[in-house]
Structure 1
Amino acid sequence: MLSNVKAVLFDLDGTLVDSMSMWKDIDVAYLQKFHLPVPKTLQQDIEGLSMYQTAVYFKKTFGIPDSLDEIQNTWNEMAYEAYTCTVPLKPAVKEFLDFLKEKNIPCGIATSNSRVLTEAILKAHQIEKYFSAVVTGDEVTKGKPDPQVYLTAAKKLQVEPEACLVFEDIPFGIMSGKQAGMTVCAVEDVYSMKDREEKMRLADFYIKSYEELL
């Protein structure tokens, strides 16, 4: 898998950290504040969107009176404690990052999440030192499956897209990496188990744990 790879790019939520189910709970709690029901298709509708795009979706779909900045700030506040105190890394993440460092393979993050929460959880787990480039949803105009976030990360690392290996946990993320011209490894995650076959079809590789790569 790592043959001819000059850089490794990671999604964050569901790929490096176990946080996807928490976001579903936040969406429910947020809509409850406005006494609004949660549509059955909500998670499917917002999958892959940046936080800004999700705020636009919420405002238009549910008629939220708050500004887009206020919506995003509320979500950041709701998630911040969990990101700094309770959201865990997926098994063997640190060991795999150490392995890549030993191989002198630079790493980057390409996430739809906010800069505030991304930096918070990297610092909480003391893994920020492993990443030479961090691109968040705050910095791109198009969410996944558009390749913009991955192309931006590759550019920051000064590595051609075809020499990058991507780790992703959801179909839209896998599509984003593939559309960027990168090799993609799908990562198993409880939240996306329903999409397991689709993930295996879309990706070049599939792992249940980073332990398989050590």
Structure 2
Amino acid sequence: MIQGAIFDMDGVLVNNTPVHIRAFEIFCDRYGVRDWKAKLGNAYGMGNDDIMRLILPKELIRTKGLAALADEKEAIYREIYAPEIVPTPGLTELLGQLHEAGVRCAVGSSGCRANVDFVLDACRIGRFFDARISGDMVTRCKPDPEIYLTAASALGLDPASCLVFEDAKAGIEAARRAGIGRIVALATTLPREELETESGLRCIVSDFRDTTNIHQILE
């Protein structure tokens, strides 16, 4: 029986991939970086340091520093997203059902803590989460399993008794490597056909409105 639910954030708690792309467009334009978009497609689910190394010139990273560049980009993201942020459809209802069923919940995101707090506060869902694990709290981000192992530990649960909601290949791999008991994929960031190539998924849903019967995924 599943006792804990761990939610990725980007593309799961909020369907925000287009906003991150807009933020990267503004950010990269400031520094004259033109070839970032194709590279970003391979970075979904990764931590900021890995993303910055993937898309930015080495000289810019040496000059500005990874932490400062990441902070600058994420500040842009929060500024442009604040007026329009909403939770993924069906999320609040699902969180209420999990709470009533006694299932403890955590966030397990490669994103920074400032973004996690921003999303939970802006969407008014913070009360549902017993733990918040972000990329700046761990040594290695997804696809390494550390985030999900840390989240399960924070809930006081074995990973095998936890369910993970993910949208990215790096996150799905991290959940598998962590020994998570159930993985539900959301087709928010990637096409359903691409997610269907991933092994070990309980199911693929368009959003949380497809999870109205939580007992089908908990039992």
- TM-score over 0.5 for the pair: yes
For residue 19 of structure 2, what is the aligned residue in structure 1? 22
* 4+ residue runs over 6 A deviation: none
**1:148 aligned to which of 146, 155, 158:** 146
User: Are 2:166 and 1:168 equivalent residues in the alignment?
Assistant: yes
**Equivalent pair of 1:83/1:117 in contact (CA under 8 Å):** no
**Equivalent pair of 1:51/1:138 in contact (CA under 8 Å):** no
**Equivalent pair of 2:13/2:87 in contact (CA under 8 Å):** yes
**Equivalent pair of 1:50/1:113 in contact (CA under 8 Å):** yes
CA RMSD of aligned residues (A): 1.8
For residue 206 of structure 2, what is the aligned residue in structure 1? 208
Structure 1 stretches lacking a partner, 5+ long: none
Matches for 1:116-135 after TM superposition, within 5 Å:
116-135=114-133
Deviation at 1:82, TM superposition (A): 3.5
User: Are 2:6 and 1:9 equivalent residues in the alignment?
Assistant: yes
CA distance in 2 between counterparts of 1:159 and 1:139 reads 19
**Equivalent pair of 2:39/2:55 in contact (CA under 8 Å):** no
**Equivalent pair of 1:150/1:177 in contact (CA under 8 Å):** yes
Matches for 1:189-204 after TM superposition, within 5 Å:
189=188, 191-193=189-191, 195-199=194-198, 201-204=199-202
For residue 104 of structure 1, what is the aligned residue in structure 2? 102
**Equivalent pair of 2:4/2:105 in contact (CA under 8 Å):** yes
Structure 1 vs Structure 2: percent identity of aligned residues?
25
For residue 34 of structure 2, what is the aligned residue in structure 1? 37
CA distance in 2 between counterparts of 1:61 and 1:24 reads 21
The size of the alignment, in residue pairs, is 209
**Equivalent pair of 1:185/1:205 in contact (CA under 8 Å):** yes
Amino acid of the structure 2 residue aligned with 1:156: A
TM-score (norm 1): 0.90
